[in-house]
Amino acid sequence: MKKYLAIFLLLIVGFYLIQAFNLVPFGANRVGNIDDESTVGAYYLKNTVPKTSVANVVTAIVVNYRGFDTLGEVTVLFLATTGLGSILFRKRKHGEEEERVLKESSQLVKIGSRLLFPFIALLGIYVFIHGHLTPGGGFQGGAIIATGFLLMLVAYKNYKLGHGALTWIESLAGITFAGIGIWGLITGGTFLENNAFPGLGNVNDLISGGVIPIIYIAVGFKVAAELTGVLDILLSIKPNKN
């Protein structure tokens, strides 16, 4: 009886799947043809630069056309960090210092990583500030900054990260992202309305593209804080002695 029920349900699902596939013309290229106005790719390529005045079309799609989706992605990253922290959390005795498993690095590595760290952080900040002009953006810039922190964590056994500061940065960045979205609603547009805030400006200016650069800067800070937190958690686990 159960078997027949399963077959019946599968037939219903299959019927609607075939119906959905029948809506797409067989063999039609729905994405690649740039001259065909009705395809989504052509729409983005034609309208992104005049409508958002952002030179980097990918950024405009990620942050603006699909900004809601990006908000979800950032939330997923936050949840991943929280999950990792709650799984790998180790109860410490009172007064016990957190200790990393790595051995002490040599003096050369310590000094060298201290020399390189500001430049790595600068590169990361550059990447996410220019996210609307050049390839890269918030996620990439944040990852670069996190690698700088990884260098410091590997070099210094007792390198302390301010967990309070990390949490604050993460929360403020998240609030900025959601707040910009709600500001669009307040000013009478839609959620994450593009030209709600500083105005569109000229294409290829540093301050252009409405809320897109601000959102990407917030995303950059958020990703950097989250990935650094993940690295810190992973480096603080003690392996089992047995």
> Considering the rule CB under 8 A, would residue 109 count as an interface residue with other proteins?
yes
Q: Tell me the closest approach of the beta carbon of residue 57 to other proteins, in angstroms.
A: 26
Q: What is the dihedral of CA 58, 61, 63, 68, to 10 degrees?
A: -150
Cβ atoms of 136 and 217 within 8 Å: the answer is: no
Total residues in contact with other proteins, by rule CB under 8 A: 10
Q: Counting contacts by CB under 8 A, is residue 116 touching other proteins?
A: yes
Answer yes or no whether residue 119 interacts with other proteins by CB under 8 A. yes
CB of 196 to other proteins, least distance (A): 37
Segment interacting with other proteins (CB under 8 A) among 10-18, 42-50, 99-107, 171-179? 99-107
What x-and-dash track marks residues 201-230 binding other proteins by CB under 8 A?
------------------------------
DSSP of 72-126: HHHHHHHHHHHHHHHHS--PPPTTPPP--SSPPPPHHHHHHHHHHHHHHHHHHHH
Whether the Cβ atoms of residue 158 and residue 97 lie closer than 8 Å to each other: no
Encoding tokens for residue 161? Answer: 């990260």
Answer for which of 3, 21, 108, 158 binds other proteins (CB under 8 A) is 108
- What track of x and - describes contact with other proteins for positions 55 through 94 (by CB under 8 A)? ----------------------------------------
Nearest approach, Cβ of residue 108 and other proteins (Å): 6
| C-alpha–C-alpha distance, residues 39 and 34, integer Å | 8
**Token reading at 157:** 């056994």
CB 114 → other proteins: shortest distance, Å? 11
Among 62, 80, 81, 103, which residue's Cα sits nearest to residue 194?
62
Q: Which residues bind other proteins (CB under 8 A)?
A: 103, 105-106, 108-109, 112-113, 115-116, 119
